[in-house]
Amino acid sequence: MRKFSAIILCKIISIIGKMFGKGSSLPGEIALKMCPNVLSEIKMPKYIIAVTGSNGKTSTTEMIAHILSSNGISVAYNKEGSNQIAGVTTFILNNSTLFGKVKRDVLLIESDERYAKYTFKYFAPTHYVITNLYRDQLTRNGHPMWVFKAIEQSIKAESRLILNADDPLVSLFGWERDDIVWFGADKLESDSEEFRGAYNDAAYCPVCHRKLKYSTYHYNHIGHYYCESCGFKREDTKFSVTKANLKDGYAVINGKHKINLALKSIYNIYNILAAFTVASLVGIDEGEIASSINNYVLKNGRVQNFAIGDRRGILLTSKHENSISYNQSLRLASQDTEGCDVLIIVDAISRKYFTSDVSWIYDVDFEMLQSPNVKNIVLAGTYCNDLAARFGYTDIEADKIKVTDSIASAVEMLDNGNSEKIYVITCFSDKGKFIERVELI
């Protein structure tokens, strides 16, 4: 009875909430108060897929949903991005009948990495994907190994773990277990033999703390690694990117499925590979998966084209306090052989909480902009001085860089009729302040 009331209440509050444009956490929060174990009483579908990790959760989840629904499977997923227990409860109850049966073939959950242990207290995913462990919102999350411990507490014996073999920190979840589905990339043309980045979170073996060796680096601490001391190593993968060409924009999975990339980045390739892996495990034909994901343009609004006067640009929504997310965007700009200008805005560090901490900008590999492709760099927002100080510690020529606290002035500076493309790199918290001054196309 309490379950029934909790579901009804959740549905009603959600409808009212939508009319007033309210968030999606409150209905679930109220339902949980009324019936704390409501999630354990829901009749779940055959497949419950969960995705967690530092980066790529939203994109991976969206692509899994796209592949499954293109192949005739109905999916319920938290596309509004409410990924803590209240938001997850809202979307599960809203996708259930009044008697508590999920109405879709698959329940697909993007889960916040720190809160997964609360969500999965009441039910276990059948398939549990962990994408990567990076430094992310350190002012709340501490550090990757702190997050590791939180995720570890969310893992249940009955879940099939699907892990990124190329991330040593993620691989640690599968250490001394033999029931893991591993995904990863073979040695790629874009690899390096030397570590690249401002820091290496896997300089030492996470098991025994001796130096971790790599035969190849894909980017940052992602690559092919092995420990000579304890035997910890990158596992062989069942699902593999066997070739990737970022210039022409395609990747090949398992040696035969060529997938063209709407977003030409190695990070996008990992998200596609993770989605491919899950879709295959729930029984979709690999050829069908490849054609559904071919040239897929993400709808989550992280990449937007715009115009400033005659100039064209691309807004790459990145995450403040997340150096890998920044590196991803910087790499795209630095590799644009047609030449570009780059605008970086740090105005409010978070939209959810206050902090004035800018330590994370020292973890970002801004050195990448030391490239002949990059003509001018504009640093804007409240923390423009901190950005400028950071750039002072790179080898980038000072006369390439302009600094202004005003986002309006930054846009004016770029409205100069030059022909180069403009790359704008900023966060959810600040992108609205830019978008309102340009034309989206």
Partner 1 sequence: MRILHLYHDLMNLYGEYANISALAKILEENSVDYTVDKKSLEDEVEINEYDFVFIGAGSEENQKVALAHLLKIKDDVLKFIDSGKVFLATGNAFEMFGKKIETPSGEYTGLEIFDFVTVRQDKKRITADAIFKFGEEMKLVGFINKSGWTYGVETPLFKVLMGLGNNEESGVEGVVKNNFFGTQLTGPILVKNPHFLKYIAEILAGKTLTNNTFSYEKAGFEITLNKLSDRR
User: Contact residues for partner 1 (CB under 8 A)?
Assistant: 135, 138-146, 149, 198-200, 203-204, 209-211, 354-363, 382-383, 385-386, 388-390, 392-393, 403
The enclosing H or E element of 439 equals strand 439-440
Nearest to 1 by CA among 26, 34, 48, 47: 34
Cα(191)–Cα(182) distance, rounded to whole angstroms?
A: 20
Cβ distance to partner 1 smaller for residue 366 or 423: 366
Residue 62 Cβ, how far from partner 1 at the closest point, in Å? 29
Residue 389 Cβ, how far from partner 1 at the closest point, in Å? 4
Query: DSSP assignment of 211-261, as one string?
Result: BPEEEEEEETTEEEEE-TTT--BPPPPSEEEEEEETTTTEEEETTTEEEE-
Residue 206 Cβ, how far from partner 1 at the closest point, in Å? 8
Cβ distance to partner 1 smaller for residue 103 or 210: 210
Residue 272 Cβ, how far from partner 1 at the closest point, in Å? 31
Residue 201 Cβ, how far from partner 1 at the closest point, in Å? 9
DSSP letter, residue 381 = S
Q: Are 162 and 144 in contact (CB under 8 A)?
A: no
Q: Which two tokens stand for residue 279?
A: 């879709």
Cβ distance to partner 1 smaller for residue 105 or 357: 357
Residue 349 Cβ, how far from partner 1 at the closest point, in Å? 10
Cβ distance to partner 1 smaller for residue 122 or 360: 360
Cα(123)–Cα(167) distance, rounded to whole angstroms?
A: 27
Q: Which two tokens stand for residue 100?
A: 């508590």
Q: Are 330 and 366 in contact (CB under 8 A)?
A: yes
Q: Are 117 and 154 in contact (CB under 8 A)?
A: yes
Q: Are 324 and 55 in contact (CB under 8 A)?
A: yes
433 beta partners: none
Cβ distance to partner 1 smaller for residue 264 or 390: 390
Cβ distance to partner 1 smaller for residue 226 or 362: 362
Tokens 């807004």 locate to: 315
Cβ distance to partner 1 smaller for residue 99 or 199: 199
Query: What sign does the dihedral 181-187-193-199 (CA atoms) show?
Result: negative
